[in-house]
Amino acid sequence: MKILVTGGAGFIGSNLCDFLLDNGEEVFVIDDLSTGSLENISHLFDNPRFHYSIDTILNAKKMEELISWCDCVIHLAAAVGVKYVLENPLSSIETNILGTEIALKLSNRYNKKILIASTSEVYGKHTHAPLKEDDNLIYGPPSTMRWSYAASKLVDEFTALSYHRTKKLNTIIFRCFNTIGPRQTGMYGMVVPRFIQQALRDDPITIYGDGKQTRTFTYVGDVVKAIYLLAKGDKGAGEVVNIGGQEEISIADLAQKIKELVGSKSEIVFIPYEKAYGKDFEDMMRRVPSLEKLKSLIGFVPETSLDEILAKTIEYFRALAT
């Protein structure tokens, strides 16, 4: 298959490119390098089945050319990360809503299957677990800009589902829960790379809020496998499906675990949300996915343990630091 990966120079995208090429596919990437980097894909430049364009998904002409060549589109390009979105509110909405509309419109024009990356953020302020794809969504007001990321991804979901209903477009929306592993950067507010880098430097490990908020973490290798199985399979058209990990942990316990695994002397400190993100922030206290639907669609769910994922990620950052 010829597969277009938008955002292919990013964290999940570049790991997906590796996985697709290992499975014999031909890969096309479009990325504007706003949060991704050429370093993530430079090891692929000599592969004749790998092609890349440094351009924006808002360039409809370029997108048309790429989509017309490919059999399937995996749309990952987006403004990502709480910190990034709070700092770039307008361009983030433009990328996430207009960019996805362009990808969907052209996939429909050329009748290509398209998978759309959404996020567990769309669930909003739930505290129950596990979160199922048909749960209600609970948001704060638009004056709290933090919700704009979730809302923009939700608009993407509505748009994709509308293309499926009205045009029969073969589209699948996958909601990623916190994904971690090699190549993720801590620059845009991602918790695990930030904690690991702080621990490796023996700097204070900074927890935002009281640390009682919980998350599950998914290994990027499991996420890209799930995305590939959804792309290859014949189930899931017009569906929304969670992709996430299974071990729930509080952020305070995560900080302690990372400190121990790194063997760090860091102290663990708590910083009020307002100081970290300004007043436009509100956290989600719990985020645990139901994986029943994913299992029914592809017969696979992420299973790498948190200890194993953290060990791989620490090893990656240790190598980078030397």
Ligand X SMILES: NC(=O)c1ccc[n+]([C@@H]2O[C@H](COP(=O)([O-])OP(=O)(O)OC[C@H]3O[C@@H](n4cnc5c(N)ncnc54)[C@H](O)[C@@H]3O)[C@@H](O)[C@H]2O)c1
| 3, 35, 151, 154: which one binds ligand X (CB under 6 A) | 35
**Residue 5 C-beta: closest distance to ligand X, Å:** 10
Nearer to ligand X, 264 or 314 (CB): 314
**Residue 206 C-beta: closest distance to ligand X, Å:** 19
294 part of the interface to ligand X, by CB under 6 A: no
Tokens 């009748």 correspond to what residue?
Answer: 111
244 part of the interface to ligand X, by CB under 6 A: no
Footprint on residues 126-155 left by ligand X (CB under 6 A) = none
CA nearest neighbour of 312 among 181, 208, 218, 135: 181
Q: How far apart are CA 220 and CA 228, in angstroms?
A: 12
Q: Under DSSP, is residue 220 helix (H, G, I), strand (E, B) or coil?
A: helix
124 part of the interface to ligand X, by CB under 6 A: no
| 20, 27, 56, 182: which one binds ligand X (CB under 6 A) | 56
Piece in contact with ligand X (CB under 6 A), picked from 7-15, 162-170, 228-236, 294-302: 7-15
Q: How far apart are CA 5 and CA 117, in angstroms?
A: 11
Q: How far apart are CA 166 and CA 175, in angstroms?
A: 22
163 is catalytic: no
| 107, 108, 148, 179: which one binds ligand X (CB under 6 A) | 179
304 part of the interface to ligand X, by CB under 6 A: no
Q: How far apart are CA 123 and CA 92, in angstroms?
A: 19
Nearer to ligand X, 50 or 264 (CB): 50
> If binding means CB under 6 A, how many residues of this protein chain bind ligand X?
28
CA nearest neighbour of 309 among 240, 209, 243, 220: 220
CA nearest neighbour of 241 among 304, 180, 291: 291
Can you state the angle between helices 11-22 and 220-232, rounded to 10 degrees? 60
31 part of the interface to ligand X, by CB under 6 A: yes
Return the number of other C-beta atoms located less than 10 Å from residue 240's C-beta: 18
Active site (catalytic) residues: 149
In the complex, the residues that contact ligand X under the rule CB under 6 A are: 7, 9-13, 30-36, 56-58, 76-80, 95, 99, 117, 119, 176, 178-179
